[in-house]
Amino acid sequence: MPHPFQQTKNHYKGGFSMSRFLSAALCALFVCSMTSIDAKAAGDTKAGKAVYDTNCAACHKDGVMGAPKLGDKAAWAPRIKQGIAVLNSNSIKGFKGKVGMMMPKGGHPNLTDAQIGDAVAYIVQQSK
């Protein structure tokens, strides 16, 4: 008796092709991986407010060194458009732009990458 999934040409008994099965599996993996990346990148805005208040407000409250001010929709719109991953990366690694600059982790090397991500999420939420 032949195995129920025995290959016949490019199809398996039961009517499905391996390429369709693999395509569907790869699509599912991609969607799941993107969802988890977005979830991780989103950050915790409640924790982010605390990080912002104690570390980021020194520059982002008054626009020191060209920092975009919290809540300034016009200043933040092109930055937000780049995506949360770019904002997180620039905030962690530091950034020098046309208008201003930011030291790595805003000059607070004791902050974790997750704390920076939380602060970025809070700033974005307040600046949309």
Q: Domain holding 99: CATH number?
A: 1.10.760.10
> How many residues in total does the chain contain?
128
Handedness of CA 53, 41, 127, 70 (dihedral sign): positive
pLDDT of res. 12:
53
Answer whether residue 2 is part of any domain: no
Residue % of the chain over a pLDDT of 90: 62
pTM of the predicted protein model: 0.68
Residues 108 and 83 in one domain: yes
Q: Looking at the predicted structure, is the pLDDT value of residue 33 above 80?
A: no
Residue 49 vs residues 28, 29, 123: alpha-carbon distances, Å: 35, 33, 8
Does 48 share its domain with 36? Answer: no
pLDDT of 86 above 90? yes
62 shares its domain with 123: yes
Higher pLDDT, 56 or 14: 56
Q: Which domain holds residue 12?
A: 7-40
